[in-house]
Amino acid sequence: MSVSKKLPLRAIFKVWRELGLPDNFEDSVISSNSDIFLLQDGNEPNTHLLVLNDGEAFKDCLIPAVENWRVVECCKEDCSVDRTDLKYSFKQGFPPGMRLKKNFKAKVKDWQRLPYVGPYEELGVEEMRRTKSRMMSMEKRAVGIVHEFLSLTVEKMVEVEKISHFRKWFGIDLNVRDLFLDIQGCFICQPKKAAHSVLEGGI
């Protein structure tokens, strides 16, 4: 998901428990798989970057978790999502009793149909242009990246602040907290100790 195939090691240290990594993952996972991972010195003193040696080797086997949901939904006889809309759809859920207005439902449907570049796909020049439609597509790409990141965690949740450490590396040019609040139904923000929120994905 990283645009540069690099991630700061200190950011990974912040989520190693959520990702189910062993406490000695720097040795047991990274150093033991030197053909896959490489540690580089960062731009600041005493910082390191975790580098994926050959991203192309894994390109064909990286399938976003949301694709599994789309396949399952498509095969259901009582599929709740129009099969023609499933290609770019995400699972959404709203609190029981919440009344969705007609214009809100229409906006949600339009958003679900909006094409976007997946978390493991390369961004082209067209996607980088700052038109309104491209910005909406990039916002949806950000949703896809966060959704995929959450799918890799043990409990499908992580603190918002911890995700923010990956924002630049994932190419998310948006305020992460605002993204979660704006895209309703895909994520659930739960308060935690007043100062933090925990982000839970509908996976």
Give the pLDDT of residue 178. 86
Give the pLDDT of residue 97. 78
Structure tokens at 113: 């149909």
Give the pLDDT of residue 53. 86
| Model confidence at 198: pLDDT above 70 | no
Give the pLDDT of residue 15. 95
Per-residue pLDDT tens for 12-68? 999 999 999 999 999 999 999 999 999 999 888 889 999 998 767 777 788 999 998
Q: Rounded to 5 degrees, what are φ and ψ at 65? A: -60, -30
What is the domain partition of the chain in residue ranges? 1-61, 63-201
Mean pLDDT on 101-124: 89
Q: Three-class SS string for the chain?
A: CCCCCEEEHHHHHHCCCCCCCCCCHHHHHHHHHCCCEEEEECCCCCCEEEEECCHHHHHHHCCCHHHHHHHHHHHCCCCCCCCCCHHHCCCCCCCCCCCCCHHHHHHHHHHHHCCCCCCCCCCCHHHHCCCHHHHHHHHHHHHHHHHHHHHCCCCCEEEHHHHHCCCCCCCCCCCHHHHHHHCECCEEEEEECCCEEEEEECC
> Could you give the percent of the chain with pLDDT greater than 90?
41
Mean pLDDT on 125-142: 80
- Contact by Cβ (8 Å): 199, 163: yes
| Model confidence at 80: pLDDT above 70 | no
Give the pLDDT of residue 202. 55
